[in-house]
Amino acid sequence: MFAYEKLEVYKRAFTLNQIVYRFLNENNSIPRYAKDQLGRATLSIMLNIAEGSGKFSNRDRKNFYTTARGSAFECSSIISFLSLESEIPEALNIELVNLYEEVSRMLYAMIQNLSKEQ
């Protein structure tokens, strides 16, 4: 088992990917560019957490976790826009925004801890 697989933040990001992946596959009314951007940004969170966990220096890990956190903000913004355009059911909107916010908070704590250790 890789170290990232033990991280709770990675597990949450993985779950987010599953939810978004299934939603995007089932929804044909969202423009392709928005689907692509949301899919890539959501995947970026999970992948940057995984890649960052494999780095040796705190500085490198912090950079990857910061990028992952930025992608969480990006995803939340896309979800909010799609919700206002009635492309996402309100219950799913709330679930996703809450999950992105939770992942963001977890990453923030990790980034802060890495900053203290430098």
CATH class of 3-117: mainly alpha
- Please give the pLDDT value at position 117: 78
What is the average pLDDT score of the chain? 97
The pLDDT assigned to 118 comes to 64
Q: Where are the domains of the chain?
A: 3-117
Per-residue burial over 61-72, b if 16 or more Cβ lie within 10 Å, else e, is bbbbbbbbbbbb
Instruction: List, for residues 21-65, the tens digit of each pLDDT value.
Output: 999 999 999 999 999 999 999 999 999 999 999 999 999 999 999
Share above pLDDT 90 across residues of the chain, in percent, rounded to a whole number: 97
Mean pLDDT of 3-17: 97
Q: How many CA atoms lie within 13 A of 66 on its CB side?
A: 11
